[in-house]
Amino acid sequence: MTRIPAILRAHIWCALSTKRPGHPSLGLPLHFSAQGHGRLPRVLGFWAVLAVCAVFWSGCGSSTDTMQRKLDVIAGEDLQDIIKEIPDKAKGSMLAKPYYKVDEYQEFHGDTAIVFQAKAVLVFFYLDPSLDLCQVRKYRYKTSAGLWDRYDVKLMHFPKKYYGVPPQ
């Protein structure tokens, strides 16, 4: 069996003890030992390391899967809102099963991802194809909030690459 050196045992005991006579309730000593091995520097060092880790972790962006999952959620909600806003007179010209397609998707890395980590352009198809109208919405993923932000909405004619594509 390996013996733990006395100085290491003393440090472990000091680190684990929370209340000792003559010490405040947080377990911080009112004085330092003669060898200069007080708990205060260790506690402050622990919090400094924890703060650095927290800053590093909060600065990291989201994963691709997380961003795409969140994009699917906001796109589904937007599609439902689009359908709700269609006037009763136009309900007859609506597709039986409205849908959307991700037209463009781009992620940013490094310094370019400080504010926005990704952008996406979605095309919403909800009207009869003979009307040749769709809604194009642009989104950007805010790195700090971890949320998609819609910043542009346009009603326009089908993009050329979607001509002749049958509805889903």
Helix (H) or strand (E) holding 120: strand 116-127
Give the mean pLDDT of the chain: 79
Residues 42, 48, 52: CA angle, nearest 5 degrees? 145
Question: pTM of this prediction?
Answer: 0.62
Gap between the Cα atoms of 44 and 36, Å rounded: 15
Query: Strand 116-127 and strand 94-107: pairing?
Result: antiparallel
Q: Which of 160, 79, 161 is nearest to 127 (CA)?
A: 79
Q: Taking residues 120-142, report their average pLDDT.
A: 94
- pLDDT surpassing 90 at residue 79: yes
Q: List the structure tokens of 75.
A: 């796109």
User: Given CA atoms 152, 141, 72, 168 in this order, what sign does their dihedral have?
Assistant: positive
Gap between the Cα atoms of 157 and 96, Å rounded: 19
Residue 158 pLDDT class (50, 70, 90 cuts) = confident
Q: List the structure tokens of 82.
A: 């689009």
Gap between the Cα atoms of 61 and 73, Å rounded: 19
- pLDDT surpassing 60 at residue 56: no
Distances (CA, A) of 123 to 43, 105, 128, 153: 54, 12, 14, 10
